[in-house]
Amino acid sequence: MTDLLLQDIDAILAERIRRVAVARGWSEHETILRLLEQGLFACEQEVRGGFEEQEVDALAAAIAALKEVPAGRSF
């Protein structure tokens, strides 16, 4: 799994994430993953709304193909 580093997070946003974690009984790591996933689903729904089904399928296929491309050298 890829590691991501979040920097310069607003204190209010960090507190909101912490409250969700406490309320759900999740670790902060799990909370952030779940919130990212839910946010992505919402954004994808917005994007999908503007495309025809055939275009969505083509975009999904392109994204899947890109995921198979080996990572390049780090700079």
Which amino acid makes up residue 65? A
CB 31 within 8 A of CB 21: yes
Both tokens assigned to 23? 């309320």
Q: What average pLDDT score do residues 31-56 get?
A: 81
Q: What's the pLDDT tens digit per position in 47-74?
A: 666 667 788 788 889 989 988 888 777 6
C-alpha 11/C-alpha 15 separation (Å) is 6
Q: What's the pLDDT tens digit per position in 1-22?
A: 788 888 999 999 999 999 999 9
- Say which residue the tokens 């995921």 belong to: 67
**pTM over 0.75, yes/no:** no
Q: Which residue has the higher pLDDT, 27 or 60?
A: 27
Q: What is the pLDDT of residue 11?
A: 95
